[in-house]
Amino acid sequence: MAGHDAVAALVAEAVGGSRSALARLISTAERGGDDAAALEAALLPCHGESYSVGITGAPGAGKSTLASALTTELQAGGERVALLAVDPSSPLTRGAILGDRVRLQPHLGNPDVFIRSMASRGHLGGLAMATCTARRVLEACGWPLVLIETVGVGQAELDVAGATDTVLVVLNPGWGDEMQANKAGLMEIADIFVINKADRAGLEATRRDLEAAIAANAPARRPAIVETVATEGTGLDALRAAIAAHREQATASGELAQRRRARAVTELRDLARARLELALDGQLAGPAGEALAGAVTRRELDIDSAARRLVADLLNSDSQRGASRGDPEQDTP
Amino acid sequence: MSGKRILMAKTGLDGHWRGPTIVARALRDAGFEVIMIGMARPEEVVQASIDEDVDLVGLNIGGHVDVAVRAVNALNDERPDLPVFCGGVVPPHAKRRLEALGVEVYPPGSQLPDIVGAARRLTGLD
């Protein structure tokens, strides 16, 4: 554990342009705990604003290759690009193979591109727990554009929708029919649909099904459809234009501001829940938890009453505790 | 959870991925986060090791010992505290050159448990 002052010093270094300090701060976020809390506090006074673009879709849809081609396209316009690429951790061993960089080889060693691979570390929504903090670190360090690539998702891992300003949902020709296109979940969060591998058979049908589903949406929510062949770099100019158009429209309409506020609520709830769970685990492992578990096992107390008593004890002890670990007072400068 | 991160790169020019992939899987199964970057030049390995803030670098050197030596020297210059180990087709003279630079070498015939054990030791887990 580095401590509050060390984290603040590292933030100053990173904001001053040190790439290794920036990288170490992302590790600090990943490790969590008190240092990660100190990091959030140290980032608060930092200026800088970045725009974030999420890239999500099924495994093998071409998210990494698309991220690489999009980075090339944005770089051609002179933009510095940061990319957070999330891959799954094993729920069994907690190990991970983070392979997105293999698709990102053209950007190896480029000082204007920052790539960081993140393991999901048990988080289930398609991102890692620390991804949002990592985005804030990049923002503080003056990276204007942050791409966030999720793990390969199914239909309902939608973290990225709350975490980013423009969401790209990547599909492929032959991916499904009209019924799939109208399903809840992934299909609802796209700001832009990208039909990647568009040189494959089935493009027309996929485009038609998507268009039909989009036409049924409220007029306020009509995502664009862009066709790409990321391996060849085709369609990337159109994708860059579609992102710019969505950004402009969302900024002008106030949707962007609304989204960022909703993001704050979501993150706040997640963080508060994590802290509650930690406190709950502590309570359960302590004498009060032992006593309740014993009473339930001996059938002296029903389980629902035990749960309510546990929560009541937790709220009581939390408000009584002063400068303890979970105290928010410690986390503000 | 170890949370320890290992960068795996190929400095050789051949296209063989089998060896590094098998090693990466063994490390994954031992709880490491293994970041694969594919073929990379020495300065690219250094940059990736900084950006990814890894605890250990594994180089698959595929017989091209001069490139591997340059990569190790570059890493030692930029991040002297970062341990490096090597695998792949490493002739005996190359093994000696690399070991002289403080690099552990695992030539063909090495056992996966030994490599995993080295990773644990070099990242301070054991």
Chain A, chain B: beta-carbon pairs less than 8 Å apart: 81
CB contact under 8 A, B47 and A24: no
Q: Which of B83, B87, B76, B86 is nearest to B122 (CA)?
A: B83
Full set of structural domains in chain B with CATH: 5-122 (3.40.50.280)
Residue A318 in this model has a pLDDT that exceeds 70 = no
CB contact under 8 A, B36 and A121: no
SS3 A114: strand
Write out chain A residues lying below 8 Å of B31, CB-based: 93-95
Show the tokens assigned to A235: 């369609």
CB contact under 8 A, A27 and B53: yes
CB contact under 8 A, B50 and A20: yes
Q: Which of A177, A170, A169, A153 is nearest to A229 (CA)?
A: A170
Residue A90 gets which letter from DSSP?
P
Tell whether ipTM is more than 0.90. yes
Question: Looking at residue A78, what is its pLDDT?
Answer: 86
Question: Looking at residue A324, what is its pLDDT?
Answer: 44
Region A159-187 average pLDDT: 88
Q: How confident is the model at residue A326 (pLDDT cuts 50, 70, 90)?
A: very low
Amino acid sitting at position A163 = A
Question: Looking at residue A274, what is its pLDDT?
Answer: 84
B32 touches chain A (CB under 8 A): yes
Q: Which of A34, A36, A33, A14 is nearest to A23 (CA)?
A: A14
**Residues A193-239 pLDDT 10s:** 999 999 999 999 999 999 998 988 877 778 999 999 999 999 999 99
The position carrying tokens 């554009």 is: A145
For A138, nearest residue in chain B (alpha carbons): B51
Write out chain A residues lying below 8 Å of B40, CB-based: 105, 108-109
Rounded to an integer, what distance in angstroms lies between the CA atom of residue A52 and that of residue A191?
A: 13
Query: DSSP letters along A194-255, please?
Result: EE-STTSTTHHHHHHHHHHHHHTS-TT---EEEE-BTTTTBTHHHHHHHHHHHHHHHHHHTH
Rounded to an integer, what distance in angstroms lies between the CA atom of residue A17 and that of residue A112?
A: 12
Q: Which of B90, B97, B107 is nearest to B115 (CA)?
A: B107
For A107, nearest residue in chain B (alpha carbons): B44
Region A305-329 average pLDDT: 69
For B27, nearest residue in chain A (alpha carbons): A95
Q: Which residues of A touch B (CB under 8 A)?
A: 19-20, 23-24, 26-27, 30-31, 89-90, 93-99, 101-102, 105, 108-109, 114-117, 119, 121
Residue A152 in this model has a pLDDT that exceeds 50 = yes
CB contact under 8 A, B34 and A94: no
B75 touches chain A (CB under 8 A): no
For A103, nearest residue in chain B (alpha carbons): B37
Question: Looking at residue A1, what is its pLDDT?
Answer: 58
Q: Which residues pair with A147 in a beta bridge?
A: A53, A83
Predicted model pTM: 0.89
Chain A contact probe: residue of B21, B22, B33, B39 with most A CBs at under 10 A: B33
